[in-house]
Amino acid sequence: MIPGPFSYHRPATVADAVTLLLTLGDEARPLAGGHSLVPMMKLRLAIPEHLVDLHGIDGLKGIRRDGSHIVIGAMTTLHQLLASDEIAKSLPILQETAAVIADPQVRYRGTIGGNVANGDPGNDMPALMMILGASYRLEGKSGARDVAASEFYQGAYFTALEPGELLTAISIPVPAAGHGYAYEKLKRKVGDYATAAAAVVLTMAGGKVATCKIGLTNLSETPLLAEDAAKVVIGTGLDAATLKKAAAAAVAIMAPAADARGPVEYRKHVGGIMVTRALTRAAAKAG
């Protein structure tokens, strides 16, 4: 289908973009990669009167090291993440996750900011940002503020963004040297959202898990931190019994919707399997 008519705006600065969004109000939508918004416009599920294209704002692009953090501009594409030596060295799980998002054509256009900002429970990066302890820089009429990724998601497509605010950058503390990581994603076909996915970052000491974070994708209306599951594995060597307990603790907080990817019980079952696989592979990488 063809989208409805709209006016197109291409600001050159964040301040200009914020002014446009505030002035135009609810009838305006920011445009990043467009892979969520444009299909909705074609189906007439979204009919914005104004599009505010963020591609002309150079300050929203790029990857840089800032002390013990990596700062990524919101308009940095998934392809640029995959090509970055800094990301490969400091945050390789970002590349592992980006590589299983959609397909190459989408990754050339899709942005990390768009993936984390719109509150879609099927997006892959939000759970990862939560386990990495990331924070989001939000800029609006009152200036800039930082919100932890773990506090940003409030419901399906509902986030901490206020009217007129833009997510402009993501700041991620660099994990400890020798950390293990894994993102395990089950999907029906290339390009699909996850039926279930799990992200793990952990460290090992003396053959036992010293620290662990587990995140879950598309298994509730928001990304989930499986804190009880992570506690189960601390101090263990990840034997079969421990992995089973951790998976059960993760399944206990899952609340997926029944959809074309499967009924609720199936999605919870494979969610537990993704947790087990991610823990096992992350531990094998640590050291």
What pLDDT, in 10s, does the model give residues 218-263? Answer: 999 999 999 999 999 999 999 999 999 999 999 999 999 999 999 9
Share the mean pLDDT of the chain.
Answer: 96
**Percent of the chain at pLDDT above 90?**
92
| pLDDT above 90 for 56 | yes
pLDDT of residue 36: 85
User: CA end-to-end span of the chain, whole Å?
Assistant: 52
Q: What is residue 195's three-state secondary structure?
A: coil
pLDDT of residue 200: 98
> Selecting from 3.30.43.10, 3.10.450.30, 3.40.50.300, 1.10.533.10, what CATH number does the domain 7-53 have?
3.30.43.10
Q: Compute the average pLDDT of residues 271-277.
A: 98
pLDDT of residue 129: 98
Buried b (16+ CB within 10 A) or exposed e, 217-243: bbbbbbbbbbeebbebbeebebeeebb
| pLDDT above 80 for 149 | yes
pLDDT of residue 46: 87
Give phi and psi for 150, each to the nearest 5: -70, -15
Q: For the chain, what are the domain ranges?
A: 7-53, 58-173, 180-285
| pLDDT above 90 for 54 | yes
pLDDT of residue 139: 97
Look up residue 25 and give its DSSP letter. Answer: G
For 116-146, write each residue's pLDDT tens digit.
999 999 999 999 999 999 999 999 999 999 9
CATH code for residues 58-173: 3.30.465.10
CATH code for residues 180-285: 3.30.390.50
Q: Compute the average pLDDT of residues 161-180.
A: 96
pLDDT of residue 235: 98
| pLDDT above 90 for 151 | yes
Name the band, by pLDDT with cuts 50, 70 and 90, for residue 84: very high
Name the band, by pLDDT with cuts 50, 70 and 90, for residue 6: very high
* Residue with the larger pLDDT of the pair 161 and 41: 161
pLDDT of residue 164: 92
Q: What is residue 88's three-state secondary structure?
A: helix
Q: Compute the average pLDDT of residues 32-61.
A: 90
pLDDT of residue 218: 98
